[in-house]
Structure 1
């Protein structure tokens, strides 16, 4: 009989799909924001209120690039939740897309060493969980590899070969505080993780569905 680990040996994150009420409007927004290559979109009327329990986090090269992404998002219709500012860890800001998804744009650099760009160094789907250690072990049991872990506070998994997005875990309350939103929320997370194995739902209700690797780009 196959064990859970046997089933999940090849599990990896293949895609991230945001569920939105109006895919065409969302597509226009994300194209203008400059992050449309990071996500897929799907029409959904799933009920959701308050904090959905996750953020998409972009790491970029410097403060000017952070400002450029924040400005592009606002011009396309986003709401600023936390204005871009210096912090202990660098420089960053938080915006909320018209569809409700929250995006954090940050850099570890506190000063620019070059001109602003539209390049993204790293994309992380950061999900808020009740118990980081338990959820980390759940995902290890599904076959994901831990890349970084800080006790019960944070865990990050190694990126899959076919997806530009990494998966990371953070305490839900701490994540809401970092994003500048109330922690309360009900209903659907309105994000679906595409995996290379079977469908499942994690300990905090985040759903995975089986998907194939993305098709190669056409010339």
Structure 2
């Protein structure tokens, strides 16, 4: 069993590939950290994951959220200040939930298009069991409290963590019910496997070589 040392990208399965390519290019510009693949796999409700953009200041977070809404996203949680900082959540036209947030409460300059981190959080039915599953695959725990786990991947293009399904859905601002495909694949250096919650991990070579894939334009 190969250990996970880095997540190079995530692949989203989308019903309308040209629409998704246009949206992500205009909204976020994540380059090769985000890949898109045409799929009509059935999926309803909460898909059991969120993707987060962590940025340096509120003005940048607001600018990304505004760009996403202008490109066709639906507002789920309006951007606002909180005890931990500033942020909001939108749903892309393909159904993916995106949170844009910063721990800063004040701006230090004009808004930019700089992203400090892209983080994948998946909903675990049993957080402790999923934590052990990933620990067995070489992931060290960076933070862990309650029903939340953040793995230490300091040099990885994509960060990764676990949350209980109800807590992650609440954080995103949606109902926790959902069924069908996650419409997500995680691309890493650890080969292909499926985790306890049905999330598919794919080898980097397979992900980058698939003819139906398209890296979202920067």
Q: Give the structure-1-normalised TM-score.
A: 0.89
Higher relative contact order (CA 8 A, sep 6+): 2
Q: In 2 relative to 1, CA 81–43 (structure 1 residues): closer, same or farther, beyond 3 Å?
A: same
**8 Å CA contact 2:4, 2:188 repeated in 1:** no
1:17 pairs with one of 11, 19, 44: 11
Q: Give the aligned CA root-mean-square deviation in angstroms.
A: 1.8
Secondary structure of the structure 2 residue equivalent to 1:8:
coil
Which of 134, 138, 145 in structure 1 is aligned with 2:133?
138
Regions of 4+ moved over 4 Å: none
* Mapping for residues 24-103 of structure 1, pairs under 5 Å: 24-37=18-31, 38-103=33-98
Which consecutive unaligned segments of at least 5 residues does structure 2 have? 210-218
Q: Rg larger in 1 or in 2?
A: 1
Asked whether the equivalents of residues 126 and 170 of structure 1 are also in contact (C-alpha less than 8 Å), the reply is: yes
2:103 to 95, 99, 108: 108
Alignment check: 8 A CA contact 1:8 1:141 kept = no
Using the TM superposition, give the Cα deviation of residue 214 of structure 1 relative to its aligned residue in structure 2, in angstroms. 6.7
Within 1, Cα distance between the matches of 2:49 and 2:36?
A: 16
Q: Is the 8 A contact 2:7 2:157 kept in 1?
A: no
Give the number of equivalent residue pairs.
207
Structure 1 unmatched ranges of 5 or more:
1-6
The structural deviation recorded for 1:172 is: 0.9
Moved more, 139-148 or 186-195: 139-148
Give, in angstroms, the shift of residue 127 of structure 1.
Answer: 0.8
Are 2:196 and 1:203 aligned? yes
Cross-structure match for 2:160: 167
Counterpart contact for 2:7–2:159, Cα < 8 Å: yes
1:124 matched to 2:119? yes
| Corresponding residue to 1:153 among 123, 147, 153 | 147
Does the CA contact (< 8 Å) of 1:195 and 1:210 recur in 2? yes
Distance 1:170 1:149 in 2: 10
Question: 2: CA distance between counterparts of 1:53 and 1:81?
Answer: 16
